[in-house]
Structure formats: C-alpha cells, structure tokens
A and B are shown apart, each in its own frame.
Chain A
Amino acid sequence: MYKYFKHSYLTCFIVPSAAMTVFLAPQWAFLVPVAIILINALVDILTPPDRSVPSYSQHWVLDSMVYLYVPIVSLYMFSLMWIVSPGDLLGLSAALSSLVPVNLLAIKQEAGLGGMIASTIAVGYVLSSNHLYAHELVHRTTDKVAMLIGRYLLAMTGDAQFSISHVYSHHRNVGTDLDSATARRGESVYAFFIRSSLGQYRESWEVESQRLANSGKPLLSLHNRVLTGLAMTAAIYVLWYLAAGLLGVAVYTFVIVLAKFLFETVNYIEHYGVVRVPGSKVEPRHSWDCDSRMSSNALLNLSRHADHHANAHKRYWELEAVDTSLQLKYGYIGTIVVAMIPFWWHRFAAPQLAQWDRNSASPEEKILAKQANQLSLNPILMRGND
C-alpha cells in the first residue's frame, strides 16, 4: 500500500508545508529550502538505496500525484503573490479570520521586507520542481490535457519551450554537440545555465519552425507553441502586476530565474561530460544515474535517468536504477550542492568520467572523449588522455 504514496512527498507534504510557512511565518520561509536540502541529503546518505520497481495496478493513483501537484503549487505561488501584494489580496485574510483565529495580514505586516525576501527564496526554490512534474507530463505527447497542464507548469517558470526542446531535441541529440542541455566537460554549472537555457529556446524555435513549415502554418501566429508558451508566462506576469505592481514583476522574475537555475543544475548533473556519436543508439551509459532513496521517491524517479533516456516510453513508476559507471552517489539534492561549487564538482566528476572513457565508451566515443578532455582544460581529465 505504501508504494502508492512513495512518490507523493512533494504533492502531499513538502509543497503544502511550504505554502503554510509562507502564509503563517513568512520571515522563517528561508528555512524551507534549508529543511528540504537537509531532509533529502540526510535520507539519501543515511538510508540504503531504493532500487525497487513495484508493480502497480492502479496507475490513476500515481497519475493523480502528478496532477494534484498543479493546484497545490499554484496556491503556493499565490501565497507569495499575496505576501508581496500591498494589502489583503482578494480579501483572503479577512475571509480566513472569520473561520479560524488567525490574522494573516497582521503576520505579513509584522514580517515586513524580511518576510517578503525569505518567501521569495522559498517559492523560487520549490518551483524548480515544476520542471520535474511537467517533464513527466510533456512526455505524454498524445495526451492533450497532460501537455497543456505540463506546459502551464513550465510557463510558471518562464520555460514552456522545454516541452518542445526536451522531447524533440534533447532526447534525440543527448551527449552530442547538437544538444544544448548536455553539459560539456570542464564547463561550470553557471556557464551551462546560460548556454543551455538560451540554447533550448533556440532549439525549440527551430523545431517549431520546421513543424509549422511542414503543416503549412505561419511561423508568427498562435499556432507557434514557443510563442503561446511565452504568452502563458506573460499572462502570469500580468497577474503579478495586478496583484503587486512592479515589485510583483521583479519578485516573479527572481522566482523564475532561481527556479530555472536550480532545474538547469539538475540538467547539468544528468549528462555532464557524456559524449555520443550523433545517431548512435542512446544507451544507459549516456546518463548519470542515481539510486538514492529520497532522490528517486521525491523526484518521480528522475534520478533513474539512464533508463529514462534508453527507454523514454516508460512512465515514471516503471523506471529502473541502472549500474552505469557514472553514479551520483550523494543523491540529487546533495549533488546539486556539489555542482554549485565548481572546484568540488570537477574533483567529483572527472575521475568517474575518466573511468567511463576507459571502461564504458565505445571506440568512437573514446575519440570524442579525448577531444572533450583536451577542450575541458581540466587537469584530471587531460591526464586521462595520456
């Protein structure tokens, strides 16, 4: 029975608690990311790996964990909108105080600027998981509802294009120079964030241009999904402006950048330094994998990334952990922290890549890896070339 709830932490516990914190103790909201990082890292380090793949008969329960996240995270974003707005937005505090003895408006006013800053960080941090849920949904390209909801989640963080570039470019080109979302050897997560984010927009635009040309529809029109995605984000911007003026616009921009940056860190660690001959089969060795418990349970098995790319048709609960030579042994959250400190990251990743080059790479990949090592300027990787 528990198996049905092992992927429910974010939807049922973390996001609701985070929303409560923003409403009831905004000045303490900076503890939300701290608590999430600590809980994740501790569970990942202290408990044995979770490699189980339970069989399920009631897939709708697993799907509902994904869909239920949408209203909850929307409410969570609203909590910040409410905190940043000048008064009692939509009369929420007044309505609530008639039901329970809580005065949200007084709490907000007491928390002041500190409460606003702490809440902004808390919301920006948690909204990075929108990509996670959207990722599951936008892979269901036949399901119009899943696509729309997935794109809405992405649009919340300014990135609806991900629904296009991820499927039609990243999955096809992973590990090659054609893929913006594969981190190059030696590249820092900060350089990657800029290159990957812009590159994905370019790829989406190209895929969409081709699709529209093939369907005989105009490029600059409402048929263009890059544009409709941006329009969704613009609509959310309007809500922020109506709620909290230019301050709201600024806060929302910060939320978007923080959320996208955190997700790009995940992108960074998923394929860092992997090389593949364009067109050759995508194998499990072309992704970093992770069998840590919290990473797999809380993040909808995104951590079982090798299987996701090699068998992209699988739903999240069907994915398996794979023993590749690229392992994120600190778990996803722990590794994100490592990735943000380039010195630490390179010391962590380079030896594993060197081992990958020796033991896992195909003869052609060995050549590409050698070139990548040379370009990386990383001493550990360059030494591996000798």
Chain B
Amino acid sequence: MFGLFQRKPKETAKFEVRFLPANTTLQIEQGSNLLEAALRHGMPAPYNCRVGACKTCQIKVIEGRPKSLMEREYVFSRQEIEAGTYLACQTAVHSDMVIAWDNSEPDGAAKVGARLLEVRPMTARIHRVRLQLDAPLSWRAGQFARLQPFELDITARSYSMIAAGHHADIVEFDITHYPDGALSSWIVDPANAGKPLSIEAPFGDFGLDETGSDTSLPLLCIAGGSGLGAIGGMIGTCLDKFSGSPTARPVVLVYGARDQKEIYALDELQRRAEAAQIPLSVNVVLDREPAGSSWAGRRGYVAEHLTDILAEAARHNDRFRLPASAWHVLLCGPTPLVDSAIATLRQAGMHPDQMSFDKYEQGVAATTAAVI
C-alpha cells in the first residue's frame, strides 16, 4: 500500500576521513554517523552508550567540519569544544576530515627559547621553577620537556611539566635539587633568573588518557618526591574540569617522601578539591622520618601501605568501594617507588592496562615515561 511512496535510491557524496594515529583513510557517505561508519568498516573504534553521554568515543577533529548530532556542551567544556572535541557516536560526516581517536597532541614536540622566570623553594630540596617561553606550546599534564641552559655545556635534561598548557607561554616544573646535578643546581639558583635556555616539548604519553574510559571511575595517584608536581598538576586539571560534578573522578593520592619537611602542596590540593566538591583522600608515607618525632602518620615505603590505604578510602567513601579493575592508576616518582607500587597493585588484582607511570632516574635526572 505504501509502495507509492517508495523513494528512489539517491546518489550521495562520499568524503575522505583520515583516522589518526592509525593513519587509516575511509570513504564515508555524506551524512553518515561517524562511529557507525567506522564500525562498519571494521575500525576498532571504542564506544559504549551511543547516546552521547559516556564519552567513550571521544575524538578530536583536526581538519574538516563535521555536524554534531548533540549539543556538545552536555559533555564538553568550552575549551574542549574549541579544541575540536566531538563524540563519534554523535557526529555526522559532512566534509573530508582528519580525526584523532585519542587525546594525544597531534603536533609533535617543538624546540623554543625560554627564560628562567622564577624559582620558589617548596621544600629544602624541591623547587618550583617557572619558565617564560619565547613561543607558545601545548602539552598535557604529565608530559615532559627537555631543558638546556645556554651557558652550560651539558646535554638536555628531562623534567615533567606541571598542569596542562594549551597554547601557553608559561611552564612550571617541580625540580629536586641534587648538589652534584649540573642542571638542577643551575636552575634552582635564583641568581640565574632571566637567563636563557632552550626547551623542547612535549614528550611522553604519561598522563590521564580519558579516551575510552569513564571519567567517574576513581583515580589512584602515587607520587614520590618532586613527582608530586606532575601528579598534583594532573589532579588539578581533573578538579578544574569536573568542578562541582557529582560524577567527577574521586581521587586517592599517596605521597611518598623522606620526612615531614618534604611535605608540600598537599594542603592546597585539598582546598581545591573541597572547593570543587570532589572527594580527595590524601595519604602521606615517610621513609626517613626520625624515630620518635611528632609524625603520627604512616612510615616506611609506599608499597607496604597501598592495600591498607585503599581499604581505608573505601570505608570512608562509597565512591571508592569498587573492584580493583575499576581503578585508574597514575604513578610518578623515583624508580624504586614506582616499581614496588606497581608490583603491589598487580598482586591486588590490578592490570597493567590500568596504570600509567613516569619514573625519575635520580642523579642523572633523566625521565623515562611509559604506559605499560
């Protein structure tokens, strides 16, 4: 009966869509749903809810003008929208496009000139160093930069950047001063303020990759020494991004340090978490605190306390009462701390896929970053 209304098949235009980092190109019909088209072509595209709520299929559009099938403000901040963030399940193809399926910066590292702007001692050994860049760069919290002062004849050294920067010209590091370290001695010396150096950034993929993960799941952050800079920066990014949201990632932070004098920046993080109404449980473990001191908290190595810290967090807040597999873990600090913590977490049932780490090689001040 309705045969009269049968539509004649129409010719539709096809567009070229290039997917990064795989660098696969697909021919997709105009108006097609991007996720459906990708799945139809056998692309291993991550997705879950398909209604534009869970953000598992988050993408970044680098070139082209897609049509969003939803108001992106439901799930993305203005900065993310301006940066071209879309949900593949809610995107219709209307032009040739280049898209990135993960959050990694499409631009590679760049080398620019910079000046030492300010040095602020955070503890006796750890200094917050601020550089003014000659040209803006973009990076994620947790990525690292290679620094080389012009007046020193040494190879560049790597340090993790605090907080994220988007087209920013100020960058901060927490740097541990080793008296025999050439670069750390130079850079924490206020007398060198204003002196030029070169910076090459960003490197590494350490950090909180939100692609394919639910941003309401708890985060376990483990920092040792000046690793707190990068970890604190990542937590701060989360706090800003999800401020006031009841489904924001709750965070357990474990900080391993030598003694009470090395505790820094934690009060400020706690204040920011309270202002953002996001659960943050801060735990400090000291390994060289003199016996009989006023310290009533945990002593020893971080790895020895992890199970207990997680159990205690779960007792205090329901949001932490989840199986080991639900957690996302970030580790940043000296190699022995990171390695022993990973071993303990694996025994507790966590999978390497859940963890991302950055190890500092002390003394040589080199950084190795990896996602295991």
A interface, CB within 8 angstroms of B:
1, 4, 57-58, 60-61, 139, 141-142, 167-169, 171-173, 177-178, 206-207, 209-216, 277-282, 311-313, 364, 367-368, 371
The verdict on B326 contacting chain A, using a C-beta distance below 8 Å, is yes
With most chain A CB atoms within 10 A of its CB, the pick from B33, B77, B247 is B247
The reply to whether A142 and B73 form a contact with Cβ atoms under 8 Å apart is no
The reply to whether A279 and B70 form a contact with Cβ atoms under 8 Å apart is no
The reply to whether A214 and B49 form a contact with Cβ atoms under 8 Å apart is no
The verdict on B308 contacting chain A, using a C-beta distance below 8 Å, is no
With most chain B CB atoms within 10 A of its CB, the pick from A142, A168, A279, A282 is A279
Which chain B residue shows the least CB distance to A209?
B244
The reply to whether A142 and B49 form a contact with Cβ atoms under 8 Å apart is no
The reply to whether A211 and B53 form a contact with Cβ atoms under 8 Å apart is no
CA distance A281 to B54 in the complex (A): 10
CA distance A364 to B50 in the complex (A): 23
Known: A141-B51, A277-B325, A368-B323. A207 touches B74 (CB 8 A): yes
The verdict on B216 contacting chain A, using a C-beta distance below 8 Å, is yes
User: With a CB–CB cut-off of 8 A, which chain A residues contact B322?
Assistant: 277-278
User: With a CB–CB cut-off of 8 A, which chain A residues contact B325?
Assistant: 277, 364
The reply to whether A278 and B214 form a contact with Cβ atoms under 8 Å apart is yes
The reply to whether B54 and A61 form a contact with Cβ atoms under 8 Å apart is no
The reply to whether A58 and B51 form a contact with Cβ atoms under 8 Å apart is no
Known: A167-B51, A214-B81. A279 touches B214 (CB 8 A): yes
What is the interface of chain B mostly: helix, strand, loop, or mixed? Answer: loop
Which chain A residue shows the least CB distance to B33?
A313
26 contacts between A and B (CB under 8 A): A4-B2, A60-B5, A61-B2, A141-B70, A168-B52, A171-B51, A171-B53, A172-B51, A173-B247, A210-B244, A211-B71, A212-B73, A213-B244, A215-B71, A278-B216, A278-B322, A279-B214, A279-B216, A279-B217, A280-B214, A282-B49, A311-B50, A313-B51, A313-B89, A364-B325, A364-B326
The reply to whether B53 and A169 form a contact with Cβ atoms under 8 Å apart is yes
The reply to whether A367 and B323 form a contact with Cβ atoms under 8 Å apart is yes
B69 CB to nearest chain A CB (Å): 4
Which chain B residue shows the least CB distance to A283?
B48
CA distance A280 to B48 in the complex (A): 8
The verdict on B6 contacting chain A, using a C-beta distance below 8 Å, is yes
CA distance A177 to B5 in the complex (A): 48
User: With a CB–CB cut-off of 8 A, which chain B residues contact A214?
Assistant: 73-74, 76-78, 81
> Assuming A171-B54, A214-B77, A279-B326, what are 18 further A-B pairs, CB within 8 angstroms?
A1-B1, A61-B2, A141-B51, A141-B70, A167-B52, A171-B53, A173-B216, A177-B318, A210-B244, A211-B74, A214-B74, A215-B78, A277-B323, A278-B216, A278-B217, A279-B48, A281-B48, A312-B50
Q: Give the contacts of B63-83 with A (CB-CB under 8 A).
A: 69-71, 73-78, 81
CA distance A315 to B5 in the complex (A): 20
Give the B interface residue count (CB, 8 A): 39
User: With a CB–CB cut-off of 8 A, which chain B residues contact A142?
Assistant: 69-70
The verdict on B246 contacting chain A, using a C-beta distance below 8 Å, is yes
CA distance A66 to B5 in the complex (A): 19
User: With a CB–CB cut-off of 8 A, which chain B residues contact A216?
Assistant: 78
A212 CB to nearest chain B CB (Å): 8
Known: A57-B2, A177-B318, A367-B323. A210 touches B245 (CB 8 A): yes
Which chain B residue shows the least CB distance to A207?
B74
Which chain A residue shows the least CB distance to B328?
A279
Q: Give the contacts of B1-59 with A (CB-CB under 8 A).
A: 1-2, 5-6, 33, 36, 48-54
The verdict on B213 contacting chain A, using a C-beta distance below 8 Å, is yes
CA distance A57 to B7 in the complex (A): 9
A54 CB to nearest chain B CB (Å): 13
CA distance A54 to B44 in the complex (A): 30
CA distance A1 to B3 in the complex (A): 11
Which chain B residue shows the least CB distance to A368?
B323
CA distance A279 to B53 in the complex (A): 11
With most chain A CB atoms within 10 A of its CB, the pick from B6, B74, B81 is B74
User: With a CB–CB cut-off of 8 A, which chain A residues contact B89?
Assistant: 313
The reply to whether B74 and A171 form a contact with Cβ atoms under 8 Å apart is no
CA distance A213 to B216 in the complex (A): 19
CA distance A282 to B74 in the complex (A): 20
The reply to whether B48 and A282 form a contact with Cβ atoms under 8 Å apart is yes
The reply to whether A178 and B247 form a contact with Cβ atoms under 8 Å apart is yes
User: With a CB–CB cut-off of 8 A, which chain B residues contact A277?
Assistant: 322-323, 325-326
A236 CB to nearest chain B CB (Å): 26
The reply to whether B2 and A58 form a contact with Cβ atoms under 8 Å apart is yes
User: With a CB–CB cut-off of 8 A, which chain A residues contact B90?
Assistant: 141
The reply to whether B323 and A364 form a contact with Cβ atoms under 8 Å apart is yes
The reply to whether B36 and A313 form a contact with Cβ atoms under 8 Å apart is yes
Which chain B residue shows the least CB distance to A202?
B246
Among A58, A141, A279, A281, the residue within 8 A (CB) of B5 is A58
A41 CB to nearest chain B CB (Å): 32
CA distance A11 to B77 in the complex (A): 41
With most chain A CB atoms within 10 A of its CB, the pick from B49, B50, B245 is B49
User: With a CB–CB cut-off of 8 A, which chain A residues contact B244?
Assistant: 209-210, 213
Known: A58-B2, A206-B245. A168 touches B74 (CB 8 A): yes
User: With a CB–CB cut-off of 8 A, which chain A residues contact B318?
Assistant: 177
CA distance A279 to B55 in the complex (A): 10
B358 CB to nearest chain A CB (Å): 23
Known: A177-B318, A214-B73, A364-B325. A139 touches B51 (CB 8 A): yes
CA distance A214 to B70 in the complex (A): 14
Which chain A residue shows the least CB distance to B89?
A313
User: With a CB–CB cut-off of 8 A, which chain B residues contact A364?
Assistant: 323, 325-326
B35 CB to nearest chain A CB (Å): 9
With most chain A CB atoms within 10 A of its CB, the pick from B33, B51, B71, B246 is B51
User: With a CB–CB cut-off of 8 A, which chain B residues contact A281?
Assistant: 48
Among A1, A4, A58, A172, the residue within 8 A (CB) of B54 is A172
